[in-house]
Amino acid sequence: MTTMTEASVREFKMPDVGEGLTEAEILKWYVQPGDTVTDGQVVCEVETAKAAVELPIPYDGVVRELRFPEGATVDVGMSIIAVDVAGGTGGAGSLDAPAAAPVAEVPAQAAVQTPAAPEKRPEAQPAPKPAGSGRQPVLVGYGVAASSTKRRPRKGPEITVARVPDTLQAELNGHGAASGVKERPLAKPPVRKLAKDLGVDLATVVPSGPDGVITREDVHAAAAPTTPTAPAAPVAEPASPQTQAPVTAPATAPTAAPAPSYDTARETRIPVKGVRKATAAAMVGSAFTAPHVTEFVTIDVTRTLKLVEELKQDKDLQGLRVNPLLLVAKALLVAIRRNPEINASWDEAAQEIVVKHYVNLGIAAATPRGLLVPNIKDAHAKTLPQLAESLGDLVSTAREGKTSPAAMQGGTVTITNVGVFGVDTGTPILNPGESAILAVGAIKLQPWVHKGKVKPRQVTTLALSFDHRLVDGELGSRVLADLAAILEQPRKLITWG
């Protein structure tokens, strides 16, 4: 077997893809061991606490090893892929043997642990690029520090040259990828644990996930009790810790044990990571740092809804997202211009209030990855068509999971539209570093006194939370009153705008 020299191996390390992020989860690999990669080619997609990001490789070569499987959480600065920049075809038995474990042997939980005694290894110089190559990768940084993780020696040279599907299959099965290992059904570790708790043999489960992966639903379906066609006698089976003990029926009337009323499993544990982990930390920090005050106002928005319908026919807004949220956003921008002190932040270190002369308008968006709050940069300077276009792009990008970390940084004030869920209103928590957040409730047809008579009108409730350290009750009330006035009489967008 041809031996690959240490000098030809480059370790691509997890970069800091945001400001101060310390870890990221590998969502998907786009390359496999043995593939040829070029400078700037995207090799994987990772999820940080802020966004999903595609990582390009910063040099040419041949992939020798994927250091971690999909789903693993990796510290910034740790090697995630080994590339032979010399393009050698030798076996992987000599590839950083003391420094890396087989992919299948690196649990996702252990990926974030760093032993105290780091191993030192030489860093190869990048291979020279052809003349005239001006292409630069988007993310090529190596993070805050070099990896100090000491990994177990590999079990055999054939492990590191396994193709990605085999490697991932081995990881899901909890075994190494060495040849001769009997294949077992594909299932992620949480699903495998659920099957064990429920006493389900995964070999008997019919998979419904992509590429034949067994899902939690498949396990629950397999665990569901079935009624025998002709039972000879009632049989009492041992009860598992997660299920209710079956009741033995009288011998004269044998019946099957009743199915659980809610779920076979008594509990489900979901790892806190990524967006959920970041959101939790941010909300706790905000709630216990900034003294929150929330004020409410219920208003008639019938005229605003009529204006929305008229704007949908405007040729300057054709093809753009025109809805009540657009006019709410515009109304908030006008209210901020009339009360600029609301658009500020508290600098604890300097003991100063920082008034922003620009508005980066955050829009809370529910996505498959969790709640994200990207913001529209310099929203105060945008016309209504420009604002509509930015809102449409922001929502579409968030739902596709393509929101960048930069899009979620630097917000100054936020809107959260809880009305889309049929909720009347709420008491929103401030995003860290912001002084105000507006919650928009559901718009409902309700009896309302209009021109001295009770009539059915479109009504909603607004809730404005603000940081009472820098926004007193008078300022907060003025902003909310201006918002109400504009949405009740949208012509004020012209007179006040």
Q: Which of 175, 220, 292, 468 is catalytic?
A: 468
Backbone phi and psi for residue 214, each to the nearest 5 degrees, phi listed first:
-80, 130
173's enclosing H/E stretch is helix 164-173
Reduced to 3 states (helix: H, G, I; strand: E, B; else coil), residue 53 is: strand
Contact 432, 281 (CB under 8 A): no
The order of strands in the sheet holding 52-56 is 52-56, 42-47, 23-29, 73-75
Reduced to 3 states (helix: H, G, I; strand: E, B; else coil), residue 441 is: coil
142's enclosing H/E stretch is none
- DSSP string across 68-133: S-TT-EEETTSEEEEEETT----BGGGSSTTT---GGG--TGGGG---SSPPP---PPPPPPPTT-
306 DSSP assignment: H
Task: Give helix then strand counts, H and E, for the chain.
Answer: 9, 21
Distances (CA, A) of 176 to 112, 154, 155, 162, 280: 20, 10, 8, 10, 35
The percent helix, strand, coil of the chain (3-state, each to 5) is 30, 20, 50
Q: Which amino acid is at 419?
A: G
Nearest-5° Cα angle at 384, 380 to 385? 125
Q: Is 468 annotated as catalytic?
A: yes
Just list the catalytic residues. 468
